[in-house]
Structure 1
Amino acid sequence: METRTEEPALDAPAGDEPAPSGHAGLTVVELREKLRERELPVSGTKAVLLARLAETGAAPATADDPGPDYSKLSRKELKLRRKAINTLAEELRRKRDELNLKSQSHAAERNELNAQAKALMDQVYAHRDRRNGLNVEVGETRDELRQLGPGVDQLREEFLKLKRARFAGSHLPPVPKLRRQIQELELKQMTSSMSIKKERALVEKIGTLQTQISEQDKLLETDPEVTAARDSFRQADQQRKELLRSMRRARDEAQAEHESMRDALRENRKTRKRADGAQRAFVRVKELADEVHAEYIEHLRELSEVDRARAERRRGTSQADAVESVADAEELFRKFLSGDKLSTEQLMIIQKAGML
C-alpha cells in the first residue's frame, strides 16, 4: 500500500508581502510638504498622507532623505521646529473648532426641519381623518336620500293626481315651474343691461307669476284634502332638499380637507428633503472636522517628540557641564595644594565640588 507524503508548501514570493513605506519615518509636516510639491491634497492623518504619497509613486525616503532625527538637531533647530509645528497645530485647532461649530449649525437646522416635517405630517393625518369622517357623512346622507326619494316622489304624484282630479278645469300650471320662471327672470334683471321700459315689463311679469302662485295656493286651500297632500309633499321635499344641501356641504368640505392634506404632504416632502440635505452637510462637515482633529493630534504627538528631544538635550548638556566642572575643580584643588593664590570664586568651585 502506497503512502502519500505531503509536500511542504512553497514559500510565498517575497514580492507578495507589502513592503513598508519608505516615508514612514517622516513627520506629518514633512509629508505635507512633499504633497504640496506634487500639488496634492494635504488633509488627513499620517496614514492617509502616506497612502496618498504611495499612490503617486513618489520615491521613498532614502539614506540621503531620512526621517526626522531630532537627536541630530541643535537646540536652536529644535526650538524652531517646535514653533513651526505648534503654529500648524494651532491653525488646525482653530479650523477644527470652526468646523465643529458649522456642523452644530447643520445639526440644529436638521433638527428644526425634522420638527417642521413632523408637524406637517401631523397636519396630514388630521386632514385625512377629517376628510374620511366627512366622506362617511356624505355616504350616510346619500343613503338617507335614497331611502327618502321614492317616498317624496310618491307624495308628489299623489298631490298632483289629487289636484288634477279636483281642479280639472282650472288648468293650473305647476308651482315649481312658476318658481323657476321667476328665478330666471330675477337673474336676468340682475345681470342684463336693459332700458327702463323693458325692466318695468320684466318686473310686471315677475309680479304676474307670483300672483299666479298666490292665487293657486288660495284655490288649493279651498280643498282641505288637496291642501293636506300639498303640505305633506312640501314637507318631505324640504327634508330632501336639506339633506341634499348637507351632503353637498360635507362633500365640498371633504374635498377641501383632501386638498389641504395633499398640500401638507407636499410641504412635508420638501421639508424632509431639506432636512436630508442638512444631515448630509452635517456628516460631511463632521467627518472633515474629525479628520482635522486627527491631524491636530498628530501634530501634538510631534510636539511631544520634539519636547522629549529637547529635554534629553538639556540633560546631556547638564551632564557634560557637570563633568567639566569636576575637572575644573580638581585642577583648582591641585593649584591650591601647590600654594597658588586662588580667587574667592575659585575657592567656591572647590568647595562646591566637596574638596574642602
Structure 2
Amino acid sequence: MVTKNSVVETHDVESLKESDNISLTDSKLDNGSKGQLIKVAGQLRDRRNDLNQMASERASLRDELNAKTREKVDEAQKHREKRDELNEQVQEHKDKRNELNAEANELFDQVEEMKAELELDEGKNIEELEDEIEQLEFRQQTEVLSSEDERELIEKIEDKREQLQQKKQKVEDSGELDSLKEQAEEVRSEASQHHQKVTELADNAQEHHNQMIEAYREADDIRDEADAMHELFVEAQETADEHHEDFVRVQKRLRELDKQEEQEREDERTEEREAAKEEAEEIYQKFKEGETLDTEDLMKLQKTGLL
C-alpha cells in the first residue's frame, strides 16, 4: 500500500502545511476593523491561489500516473494476448505430437510383428542352402544310386530348394520391413520436432505470462500512487475552497462595512443639511423682521434656497 507521505517524497510534491493556512473566526470576521479584514482578505486570497496551484500540480501528477497505469495495463493485456496465442500453438503442436507418436507406436508394433513373422535369424542362410543344393545335385549327377537312394536324394534337394525359396522370400519381405521401420522412425522424428516446438512455445508463453504478471503488479503500484495523489489533490483543493469561501465572507463583510460607512456619511450630510436649513430659517426670520444681514448670512440663505 502506497502512503501519501511516500508519494510526496517520490514525486517531490510540496507538503500541505497546516501552519500556512489562514484561520478566520466568526469573532475576527464580525469585530475586526476594515484594515484588519482587508489584510486577512489578502492573506486568504494568496493562500487560496497557492493551494489552487498546488491542487493543479497534484491533479497533473495524478493524471500522469493514471496514464502510466493505463499503459501498464495495456502492456499486460498484450502479454496476455501473446501468451494465449502461444498456448493455442502449444496445444496444436501437442495434439500433432500425440497423433504422430500414436502413429509411430502403431508402425513400430507392425515392425515387431513383421520381425516375428519373418524369423530372419533362424535356420541356415541363403548361401549355405545354395551350397548344399549344389552339392546334392552334383552327387545326383555323378553317383550311381539305387532308385530308393535317388528318390531320397531328390526329395532332399526339393526340400532344400523350398527352404531356399522361403528364405529368399523372407529376405525380400525384409526390404518392406526396413521401409516400415524407416517410416516409423521418420514419424517418431517428426513427433520429436513437434515436442521440441511445444517446449519452446511453452517457455515463450511462460515468459509472456511472467511479464503480464509483472506489468499488472506495476500497474497496481502506480494506481496506488495515483489514488494517493488524488487524495493529496482533494486535500489541497478542499483547503483552497475553504480559503475561497472565507475570502468571499470577508469580501461580503467589507462591502457591509463600506455600506455602513456610506450610510454614516450620508447621515452626517443629512444632519448638516438639516442644521444649515434650520440656521437659514432663523436668519430669514431676522431678515423679515428688518434686521440687517451680513455677507455670510446672505450666502447661507442662498445655499438653502431661501433667498
Query: TM-score normalised by the shorter chain: which range applies?
Result: 0.5 to 0.7
> Any residues of structure 2 matched to 1:170-181 within 5 Å, and which?
none
How far apart are residue 274 of structure 1 and its match?
Answer: 0.6
1:340 aligns with 2:292: yes
Q: Which residue of 2 aligns with 1:96?
A: 48
Tell me the C-alpha RMSD between the 2 structures: 3.3
> Would you say the 8 A contact 1:145–1:240 is kept in 2?
yes
Q: Which residue of 1 aligns with 2:81?
A: 129
Q: Which residue of 1 aligns with 2:65?
A: 113
Once residues 22 and 201 of structure 2 are traced to their aligned partners in structure 1, the CA distance between those partners, rounded to angstroms, is 67
Q: Which residue of 2 aligns with 1:82?
A: 34
Question: Which amino acid counterpart does residue 273 of structure 2 have in structure 1?
Answer: A
How far apart are residue 166 of structure 1 and its match?
Answer: 6.7
Q: Which residue of 1 aligns with 2:235?
A: 284
Question: Which amino acid counterpart does residue 144 of structure 1 have in structure 2?
Answer: K
Where structure 2 has 5 or more consecutive residues not aligned to the other structure, the ranges are: 1-18, 123-173
Q: Which residue of 2 aligns with 1:241?
A: 192
Q: Which residue of 2 aligns with 1:354?
A: 305
Question: Which amino acid counterpart does residue 309 of structure 1 have in structure 2?
Answer: Q
Residue by residue, what CA displacement relative to the aligned partner does 1:310-344 show, whole Å, maximum 9, x if unpaired?
A: 0221111111111221133234435545442522x
Q: What SS is found at the alignment partner of 2:23? A: coil
Max radius of gyration: which structure?
A: 2
Residue by residue, what CA displacement relative to the aligned partner does 1:170-197 show, whole Å, maximum 9, x if unpaired?
A: xxxxxxxxxxxxxxxxxxxxxxxxxxxx
1:323 aligns with 2:303: no
Tell me the TM-score normalized by structure 1.
Answer: 0.56
Question: Which amino acid counterpart does residue 268 of structure 1 have in structure 2?
Answer: A
Q: Which residue of 1 aligns with 2:91?
A: 139
How far apart are residue 42 of structure 1 and its match?
Answer: 6.3
How far apart are residue 294 of structure 1 and its match?
Answer: 2.1
How far apart are residue 267 of structure 1 and its match?
Answer: 0.8
> Would you say the 8 A contact 1:113–1:275 is kept in 2?
yes
Q: What SS is found at the alignment partner of 2:47? A: helix
> Would you say the 8 A contact 1:333–1:350 is kept in 2?
yes
Q: Which residue of 1 aligns with 2:224?
A: 273
Where structure 1 has 5 or more consecutive residues not aligned to the other structure, the ranges are: 1-38, 51-66, 71-80, 169-222
Q: Which residue of 1 aligns with 2:104?
A: 152
Once residues 278 and 106 of structure 2 are traced to their aligned partners in structure 1, the CA distance between those partners, rounded to angstroms, is 139
Q: Which residue of 2 aligns with 1:254?
A: 205
Q: What SS is found at the alignment partner of 1:43? A: coil
1:43 to 17, 23, 39: 23
Once residues 133 and 336 of structure 1 are traced to their aligned partners in structure 2, the CA distance between those partners, rounded to angstroms, is 117
Residue by residue, what CA displacement relative to the aligned partner does 1:133-156 show, whole Å, maximum 9, x if unpaired?
A: 322332332232223214324545
Residues 103 and 45 of structure 1: is their aligned pair in 2 closer, same or farther, counting only changes over 3 Å?
farther
Once residues 88 and 353 of structure 1 are traced to their aligned partners in structure 2, the CA distance between those partners, rounded to angstroms, is 45
Q: What SS is found at the alignment partner of 2:294? A: coil
Q: Percent identity?
A: 26
How far apart are residue 285 of structure 1 and its match?
Answer: 1.0
Q: What SS is found at the alignment partner of 1:340? A: coil
Question: Which amino acid counterpart does residue 91 of structure 2 have in structure 1?
Answer: G
> Would you say the 8 A contact 1:102–1:285 is kept in 2?
yes
Count residues with an aligned counterpart: 233
How far apart are residue 260 of structure 1 and its match?
Answer: 1.0
How far apart are residue 89 of structure 1 and its match?
Answer: 0.7
